[in-house]
Amino acid sequence: MAVRDFDSLVGGAEKSLSSLILGFESLNPNWKINVFQSNDRSSNENLFKTSSIKFQKCQIKIEDIFSGASWKLRNRKTGRSMKLLRGIHLKRKNKLFSNWLREHFSEQVKLAKEKNEKLLGITQLDWSAGASSAFIENKIPYVVFVRDEVCFQYPELFKKCLEKAETVIVAGEGLASQIKEQFSIKSISIVHLPVNFEEIYPKAELKKKLEEVNKYRLENNLTNPRIAIVGMVPEKGFEFYNRELIPKMKLLWPEATLHVFGGGPFAQKLAKHSNTFDEGFCKLEDIYPFCDINMFRLELVGTWGRVINEAGYFSKPSISIDIGAQSEAVGLGGKVMPRTASAEEWITEIKSIYADIENYGDLAFNHRLIVDHKNSINEFLNVIESVIND
């Protein structure tokens, strides 16, 4: 495995990959798993303490002067980093990563030949272009996960990475279609997100938790419609929320409030609206039980919304946008909006969900199982076996 982050678990993509790899290892203890990554972030040692995974870490810093400048010179309207400077940053980091990997991979190839073993590479996200370059040079077949929009923003940098992979792995059919429209890939595979709901919150205690929170909300006059937004960055609807939906919500549904979780500068900016609150980082059991509906919007690429199914575990429906895999993630447990839908149309549909909140909550709870971690690990195992056998 060659990735920027793995054991630091900075986001949903890292969490998903670690769950898949640890699940794969438990079913295939004879496999040797080596991770090549940056040492720039603190590791989550508890997660890997019983694992035999070996880590080799480089001294490449994750951020640099170009990523810093691209953030400082970001588009003030959309909040997105300057594309040109971020592109320079990505090219530099991928080149450095590829150069570092080459000598390590050549040693892996040598060892594999001596022991008559097969090699398979895995990569994803920002440094996957550099990883794939090293895999290709050393004739190591590899698979690549697409978990965000970086390959669509910089197709010239990631085109070869995707098109030379044995298979591109995504979480849903909708995103698979988006990738096949833009890239000439060999094959595509579906591996749903591996979400272990028991690790999020014990199911045996779930009903009691929801009852306690409902009682708390009644006693503290928190019974107004409350909308949750979990994780706020430019590509997750910041401009739409800030300029259109939140101001319209204030006029059309003044009793409703929006609660932004996860912290960060964009959450703070949204909280400048009087009907919106920056709640900072919270555990999931302190988010969804206190809200009624989960709102999740993406701007360009419909990667799977992990938070949609996490909300469903707490019987909270979601509203999202009909691009990529979002309609699959929501299922019957909420609604998906057309790309062209106005803020007024979003608010109308949020109101209709709220009017039938118990029914939508039940449907969202049932639909959560589409991302069951055991099924996802088996899907991943089938992909690996298929690549190895071919």
Considering the domain boundaries, does residue 314 fall inside one?
A: yes
**What is the three-class DSSP state of 297?**
coil
Give me the domain span that covers residue 352.
199-370
The reply to whether 153 and 185 lie within a common domain is yes
CA neighbor of 166 nearest in space, from 367, 389, 342: 389
Strand partners, 36: 2, 56
- Tell whether the model's pLDDT for residue 103 goes beyond 90: no
Question: 13-17, 128-132, 310-314: lowest mean pLDDT where?
Answer: 13-17
Considering the domain boundaries, does residue 49 fall inside one?
A: yes
Q: Tell me the per-residue pLDDT of 330-346, one tens digit each, with 9 for 90 and over.
A: 999 999 999 999 999 99
For residue 282, report the phi and psi dihedrals to the nearest 5 degrees. Answer: -140, 155
The reply to whether 361 and 385 lie within a common domain is no
Q: How confident is the model at residue 155 (pLDDT cuts 50, 70, 90)?
A: very high
pLDDT of residue 235: 87
Residues 6+ apart with CB under 8 A from 43: 7, 8, 55
- Residue 114 in tokens: 């001596």
Q: How confident is the model at residue 143 (pLDDT cuts 50, 70, 90)?
A: very high
Q: Tell me the per-residue pLDDT of 346-368, one tens digit each, with 9 for 90 and over.
A: 999 999 999 999 999 999 999 99
The reply to whether 191 and 234 lie within a common domain is no
The reply to whether 139 and 218 lie within a common domain is no
Amino acid code (one letter) for 299:
E
Considering the domain boundaries, does residue 6 fall inside one?
A: no
What's the total number of domains in the chain?
2
pLDDT of residue 34: 96
Average of pLDDT values for 112-122?
Answer: 96
The reply to whether 49 and 81 lie within a common domain is yes
C-alpha dist (Å) from residue 379 to 166, 191, 198, 383:
16, 6, 20, 6
C-alpha dist (Å) from residue 151 to 18, 145, 296, 300, 304:
21, 11, 21, 11, 15
Half-sphere CA count of 200, side-chain side, radius 13 A = 25
The reply to whether 20 and 162 lie within a common domain is yes
The reply to whether 205 and 184 lie within a common domain is no
3-state DSSP percent of the chain in helix, strand and coil, to 5: 55, 15, 35
The reply to whether 176 and 221 lie within a common domain is no
The reply to whether 207 and 179 lie within a common domain is no
The reply to whether 208 and 268 lie within a common domain is yes
CA neighbor of 20 nearest in space, from 54, 47, 49: 47
Instruction: Give all strands of the β-sheet with 334-337 in edge-to-edge order.
Output: 276-280, 257-261, 226-230, 293-295, 318-321, 334-337
| C-alpha to C-alpha distance for 282 and 272, rounded to whole angstroms | 20
pLDDT of residue 303: 84
| C-alpha to C-alpha distance for 252 and 344, rounded to whole angstroms | 8
Residue indicated by tokens 């000439």: 184
Contacts 24+ apart (CB under 8 A), 349-356: 349/319, 350/225, 350/227, 350/253, 350/256, 350/293, 350/295, 350/319, 351/253, 353/293, 353/317, 353/319, 354/225, 354/292, 354/293
| C-alpha to C-alpha distance for 145 and 60, rounded to whole angstroms | 22
Considering the domain boundaries, does residue 2 fall inside one?
A: no
Determine whether 233 is exposed, middle or buried from the number of CB atoms within 10 Å of its CB (0-12, 13-18, 19+): middle
Average of pLDDT values for 64-72?
Answer: 95
- Residue 73 in tokens: 């010179």
Considering the domain boundaries, does residue 7 fall inside one?
A: no
What mean pLDDT value characterizes the chain? 94
Q: Which strand (E) or helix (H) includes residue 3?
A: none
Considering the domain boundaries, does residue 341 fall inside one?
A: yes
The reply to whether 158 and 210 lie within a common domain is no
Supply the pTM of this predicted model.
0.88
Considering the domain boundaries, does residue 238 fall inside one?
A: yes
Q: Write the CATH number for 109.
A: 3.40.50.2000
Residue 374 CB neighbours (<10 A): 10
Average of pLDDT values for 254-281?
Answer: 96
The reply to whether 242 and 313 lie within a common domain is yes
pLDDT of residue 105: 96
